[in-house]
Structure 1
Amino acid sequence: MAKGKRRTGKGSITSYPTKAGTRWRWQLRVPVDPENPDEGERQTGGGGFLTADAADDALDEAKRKLRQRLTFTRAVPTVGEYLDEWVAGRQLERSTLVAYRRLIRVHIAPALGDVPLDKLTATRIARHYRDLATSGRRDAAGFGKPLSANTISKVHAVLSAALDVAVSDGFVAVNPARKRVIVQPPTGRAVRAQRPEMQVWTAEHLARFLLWSRESGDDLYPLWAVIAYTGVRRSEALALMWRDVDLAAGRVSIRRALDTTQRDTVKLTKTGGARVIDIDADTVAVLRAWRATLGGLSLDRVRADAYVFGTIRDGRPRSPNEVSRRWRRRVAAARDELGTDALPVIRLHDLRHTHASLMLALGVPVKVVSERLGHASATITLDVYSHVLPGQGKAAADMLAAAVRSVQ
């Protein structure tokens, strides 16, 4: 008998002679008892195949069934059961896991949770996405209204990723969510089309608010100023420690962010990396004055591991959601005093957008802005802030024409 080459895992195929010609068999070592793997292994197999490919296919099918038995010794799980098992095994940031679990609980499990995993079809998924697009919202304010393309896209990403693992586990032969011709999840263009128009302040609006905030004695004025002049995310600013601030060099290092799902807990930045942001002399002066104020309260408040924008009472990290509420109240108060026409309403996150938009409008290179914002690539910056660039394109065209005319 000719011995064949070992294949993936513990399986193999071999050829052997018969009166009718060469035949092939497969062999695979499996647990004696799948529920008690410590009891040892035995060898199983099958033969009589006319070709090596046919024996290999049979071996792959045997491996698939083995993986299925080892993962769930009972019947094939439902979609809901498998998604719960899948997300429990993911190594992700807590905030990401919370978002995944909410998508599963609110937008997947109610309609698909009881479907046996091996009975879920692309057609059933497609119908579910259409239902979500028609009446998928489950929040109190918009219950029964259409769910946004962005959220449906996130649902698709979670379901597709889980079903990819289900293929590896041997529960399904193919991932039905990947059959895009049938499923047709929202396209990137559809997601962008539904994206709300970005609200930003002009340089005049920003200057007006910061002046009002400082003169009104707002204790969070330094925080608003730092976000406006660096473009950092809310949770990144609130996680700043004094060891991250180099006032002599005029730089701040963004190394971490506060976790919005768990109080007093920090996590990696959104992209997982650190970045250094240069700051201007005025922002340095704001931080020097703030450091002096905190030092007057207690020397502990200005130690290297103290939070720059911790609570006044004890220096603990502030709640990101509470800071956003404070922002809304301060903007409302400023509008009451300065006039509603003098200051449009924007969210705290829009202060970051304001920073980026003003820089791009001033001609700062996209790559520089992208690095300050902590985007994974300049492509993301171009996609988010493309509305700022048309004016720059006109200026560039005029500059090129002027350069050509000057040498004619």
Structure 2
Amino acid sequence: MSITKSSESVPSGTIRERSLAVATQAREEHSWLEKKLKPKKISARYPFKGKPLLYATCAFGSLGDALFGYNSGIMSGLLVNEVFISRFFKSYGGADGTTSGVDPSITGISVACLQAAAAVGALIAGRLGDMIGRKKCVRVGAFIYFFSSFIQMFAPGFATFIAGRTIQGVGVGFLSMTVPIIQTEIAAPHRRGLMEMFTRYRKRTIVGITVQMFAQINGINIISFYLPSTLSSAGYDNRKSLLFTAANALPYTAATIVTWWLADRWGRKPLLILGGLLMAVLLGVVCVFTEINVDVQVKANGQYAFVMLYNIIYGFTWGPMPWLLPAEIFPLRGRSKGMALATTSNWIFNFIIGMVSPDAFSGIHGYFYLVIAGFCLSSAVLVHFYYVETAHHSLEEIAVAFGDNAFADGDAEVMDMAGAKSEQVEYSA
């Protein structure tokens, strides 16, 4: 590669002075809040560094994402807990300790209020993360979550419980938006895929939003939220329903570990397409077992077996991929806003699922699984025809696939930003 000057070169000292001037101007344009809260320096005050610090940061950061799974699991159990129902749903028809007399919309609100608040929290965190830094943003989210837990713990009634759960959703939104960004940015380049781009286009945003949308409407939280109730209606007692729901999480967790190996071996698109097709088939079988007129025990066992298979497939396809893909396709300077939009999409459709599902099951019963199966098929089609594969592709290849200029107009744009137009260079092989 040879480098030819397109104009007279400028002394390096001049470029350095101009760069410092640009940096000074950028600092002056920061808001008062940014100046107060933005970290002034990066402190290395940890007992270890390198890979141990990387792995520890990712592991403890993942606890923030795990809080959503914990909330989903605990709420699904509470909806079949007699003490909880008689205490908080007493005024809504749950005095007998069951939700059979409770309006489905009330049940939906108790589940979906967290998701609605998390969507708001993710949007706020997208801006706040750039202002105060990722670490402080995680701290704020963790504090909100901790504080709201006490509100729910000592809630005297349904309204207070919902208020606490709503506040908790804001904290979950902070963590679910910020933690994936931290994990992507601290990973080595060959581990994190696409990290830097110079332009942002509509197609990236569509991919980021739709992949998180389908992560929800493909049915995982319908299974998570309402599996205990489904198993109870199929013939299991409350104790077995809770036990089997907990056991169902084990193969799901194991399947997510497989993704570490498959994501780079097979690629992102094949995993998403395979997941969409297989989940559609499995949900169709679940619908059959839900509506078929057979022995209660056969019906319950059939439902549970295919729901477990569905969870395994989701665990290594649509579970982790929607969090990896947006972090890879958005450029560094726009990653916070891009991830905020994608994460907000996740929580909005999570909220919609939580609100609609009780009424849908009440109205069309097990046939609602066919609706979800249709979404799974649609997701596979969209991924095949619209998404871009990011595994094993360079920045330039992915940029071209998105229809971008690979080098930001031959680096002229970068030179302009530095205020050194006379230092433009032309690259030739």
Higher strand proportion, which one?
1
TM-score surpassing 0.5?
Answer: no
Q: If you compute each CA radius of gyration, which structure gives the higher value, 1 or 2?
A: 1
TM-score (norm. length: structure 1): 0.20
TM-score (norm. length: structure 2): 0.20
Higher helix proportion, which one?
2
Structure with the bigger RCO (C-alpha within 8 Å, sep 6+) is: 2
